Structure 1
């Protein structure tokens, strides 16, 4: 009896000592992922969710430093050829072994993805001239043009299992369907869980849009087991209910609490918070291409946004300091270029854009619009921190200089597909640099798209500058760091002067949670269960 009682006590003690291993982590999201499909849309909430289920060849830590992932090492030959050595002994969540053909299949799928939004991830693989697999654990990629940042770019590409489709020998022969004999996966195949097969620390249990995403620990995971047996992500787009749910004990962690509410969290010993500077630039993209832009109405019947003086006037009309201090409650920094100063390829001393409505009015008059014109600002209301409030503030600033601005804010599920179809005249955007250098924004948004869509994939405003295109194309294919940095600075100077993109501010990532949890903030603003650990 004494032995049985002792065993009962020891069993109880062991259960109390490791409650986290059987616990569900409940996370309230400010912005819900739009799909489980990791290639559907290159969007921060989607990419963050994908990291739970899928691995990448290369990982980025919380400071965006590169770490080995499914590839243990990589090297470049000084030109167009990269060799990756793959991790051995890895299995997918369905028990299938991971190998080089899964990576080749993944590359092919990015180019055969008919249900994707915009050019998501095809901008990476579109530069591949050849992909070879000398053996199951070696991958050799030859690019069409030199790609100095290929490991960094691949750190954003989730790897799929070739077992989810019917196929013969998988080869990187896109014209011959890469050896795939059945239908290519669609977004619905991932959302229903049937093809959500990865090598990540978790596997999908259920995805109910607008309700919850449930994950469970992946028993086949090759790395160290996560402390949470299950994770439940709940979309709560309003900051008030997110905070109320945390205070009531309904959530363990919330993302993006309103900065104005941080004092309330600080005053309660039950909770803690983390603020982490990010590389995410919030900006407006202007339609500078079409004569007949859909949401611009001017007395002369033209599109005023095509005039650089009008674009400069709009930028001068915005009080960035006020937005950062009042709307963002100090959890943002005014932006005068497209990546925080000091990072690779940025201007050392960018000219501050002053708040000068008088100068703005003068420029409008010079451009032929002394009485302004009508304009609609299009924006999300559930994607970026205070996105609709920011847009309303900018509309008021523009109205003060004579531009009669209205706001059309909508859910991101509607907004992003419409923006990709170029349905807006002035569109709010947010972009976090996944490379840690200026090329991330400068190659994606301003360039004239090339045939393979490896650059300019998000140029929805039709911006075109031949000098810029020449400089940015040279920059992204230059392996010499010093020369590439100089070229990126030239490109930054050109696009800032043209004003087709109006920078506003850089967001900070904010998370709050229970005090017995340790939350590690990330520069990429990803909300990850892997970044939450028991404090003790």
Structure 2
């Protein structure tokens, strides 16, 4: 078949690329199935990757998280507190209806008010007022200068204002709430249209022939197969059952590099793997005495105890032994090269003596017991990492039990599984990739004081709170000067992690994709596995 777009060659870590040619379809084996096709259900990597084939954002990121036009072709500040965006003309939704400014207003309102998911997009919508200038011009105003507006606009996907689930348009189309989750109402403007979702098996997309945007369409049909078991994903690639896989298991990377029939693509991501700790309850449900009895006090509320736990973790051993060397020890929210990092923070050393001294100072010299929780199918080697952390705690006087579960069960319980919709667990392993490509996103989501009305702390499952850090973050978000804003974000990080130990960073993920010969992948810092970044070789 004649294809409409060709992709330019890019450099990848392994396997030389030549001039791209045309391809018809592709089957991609992925580790994580999305939990919903609703673009606002859960701000989660697998969801955002998958749904981004069907829906577009106002501004998109390239593979290195550099801004590029999406549904907005131009954007600029027209005053200290107002940004103006020109929208792409001639764009149609997959049902043939026209894309206009009304759809942007509807999408931001729905994302802002959405309460059905586990980690919302309100972080990026609160404090923004979207107004229509004409059908293809909008303005977004804020109470104070907000220089990160373009970065925030890379997060919220745009859906049709007809797809409300209420009103005459929805009634005529038969749209129900479940349709947003299962894909029936997945009607966007993106490069691929939704075809079907067989739960636990696959999602299929077809090329949108009417697409007029900047994302590439190298295939007529894209099938994502859900293969959570790493050995099965590798076996499927080698057998030719799939053309590409993500999350190549670290144990197989060296072997697959030597296979002349395969190409490997690898890159450091913006994702930090870290621990959240219960900092808001006087009695935490999974903290006990050393012998497992109920404890009437929560040691995790003490920053000295949190720092001690950080010092009990041998990050180098985790990277070397669990991650097979394919990760980077972490001491803050983002790896080198990202905006707003602190120059003062490095990965904590393994220091049991120092940890025990801090525990004694905090009044916990005799230790306490823990049960730690995490997913077993979301991050690279997630269950193994948590087991290693549990063993390190136990070996140093903090007897620890480890419980892992599927990501869908875990995130629901970790977000609002407890009384009054509070997080259920006491200490959890999670990961966060900066949706905006700089430090304000994780600071605002993970460490800022939990405030749904303000949109802060949307994923702050430990409920860390520091008025001093919040004030620095607020100042940074309204600071136009890049240098000063970077300094303020670094200072906020110094407090949130360096002073409070609000979370415990473990390591930054290094991600690996593998393709059959003839294809290659443009490794993305945001970790997304997307068909439009697959390179077709000659």
Q: TM-score with structure 1 length normalisation?
A: 0.90
Residue 150 (str. 1) matches residue 149 (str. 2): yes
Q: How many residues align?
A: 509
Map 1:4-403 → 2, pairs under 5 A: 23-118=24-119, 120-128=120-128, 130-165=129-164, 188-223=178-213, 226-298=217-289, 301-403=296-398
Q: With CA pairs under 8 Å and 6+ residues apart, which has the higher RCO, 1 or 2? A: 2
Between the aligned partners of 1:114 and 1:335, the Cα distance in structure 2 is 32
Map 1:494-509 → 2, pairs under 5 A: 494-496=495-497, 497-509=499-511
Going from structure 1 to structure 2, the CA distance change for 1:192 and 1:447 (only over 3 Å counts) comes to closer
Between the aligned partners of 1:42 and 1:320, the Cα distance in structure 2 is 27
Whether the 8 Å contact between 2:92 and 2:210 is mirrored in structure 1 is yes
SS at 2:56's partner residue? coil
Whether the 8 Å contact between 1:281 and 1:504 is mirrored in structure 2 is yes
Instruction: Give the deviation of 1:116 after TM superposition.
Output: 2.5
Going from structure 1 to structure 2, the CA distance change for 1:368 and 1:76 (only over 3 Å counts) comes to same
Going from structure 1 to structure 2, the CA distance change for 1:287 and 1:98 (only over 3 Å counts) comes to same
Instruction: Give the deviation of 1:390 after TM superposition.
Output: 0.3
Going from structure 1 to structure 2, the CA distance change for 1:516 and 1:156 (only over 3 Å counts) comes to same
Between the aligned partners of 1:132 and 1:450, the Cα distance in structure 2 is 25
Between the aligned partners of 2:123 and 2:153, the Cα distance in structure 1 is 11
Q: TM-score with structure 2 length normalisation?
A: 0.90
Going from structure 1 to structure 2, the CA distance change for 1:477 and 1:450 (only over 3 Å counts) comes to farther
Between the aligned partners of 1:297 and 1:374, the Cα distance in structure 2 is 5
Whether the 8 Å contact between 1:243 and 1:257 is mirrored in structure 2 is yes
Going from structure 1 to structure 2, the CA distance change for 1:105 and 1:313 (only over 3 Å counts) comes to same
Between the aligned partners of 2:469 and 2:174, the Cα distance in structure 1 is 37
Whether the 8 Å contact between 1:113 and 1:185 is mirrored in structure 2 is no
SS at 2:49's partner residue? helix
Whether the 8 Å contact between 2:519 and 2:536 is mirrored in structure 1 is yes
Whether the 8 Å contact between 1:191 and 1:207 is mirrored in structure 2 is no
Whether the 8 Å contact between 1:256 and 1:511 is mirrored in structure 2 is yes
Aligned partner (choices 509, 512, 515) of residue 514 of structure 2: 512
Between the aligned partners of 1:30 and 1:250, the Cα distance in structure 2 is 15
Whether the 8 Å contact between 1:281 and 1:505 is mirrored in structure 2 is yes
Instruction: Give the deviation of 1:316 after TM superposition.
Output: 0.5
Instruction: Give the deviation of 1:374 after TM superposition.
Output: 0.9
Between the aligned partners of 2:339 and 2:244, the Cα distance in structure 1 is 33
RMSD: 2.4
Between the aligned partners of 1:259 and 1:125, the Cα distance in structure 2 is 37
> Which residue in the other structure is 1:430 paired with?
431
Deviates more, 1:326-335 or 1:475-484: 475-484
Between the aligned partners of 1:113 and 1:352, the Cα distance in structure 2 is 37
Instruction: Give the deviation of 1:182 after TM superposition.
Output: 9.9
Going from structure 1 to structure 2, the CA distance change for 1:20 and 1:45 (only over 3 Å counts) comes to farther
Deviations 1:328-383 (A, max 9, x none): 11111000111113421112242441111122122222322233111011101010
Going from structure 1 to structure 2, the CA distance change for 1:166 and 1:41 (only over 3 Å counts) comes to closer
Whether the 8 Å contact between 1:347 and 1:489 is mirrored in structure 2 is yes
Going from structure 1 to structure 2, the CA distance change for 1:341 and 1:211 (only over 3 Å counts) comes to same
Instruction: Kindly name which structure, 1 or 2, has the bigger radius of gyration based on alpha carbons.
Output: 1
Between the aligned partners of 1:186 and 1:414, the Cα distance in structure 2 is 24
Between the aligned partners of 1:226 and 1:189, the Cα distance in structure 2 is 26
Whether the 8 Å contact between 1:167 and 1:182 is mirrored in structure 2 is no
Instruction: Give the deviation of 1:137 after TM superposition.
Output: 0.7
Deviates more, 1:368-377 or 1:82-91: 368-377
Whether the 8 Å contact between 2:264 and 2:520 is mirrored in structure 1 is no
Between the aligned partners of 1:357 and 1:157, the Cα distance in structure 2 is 43
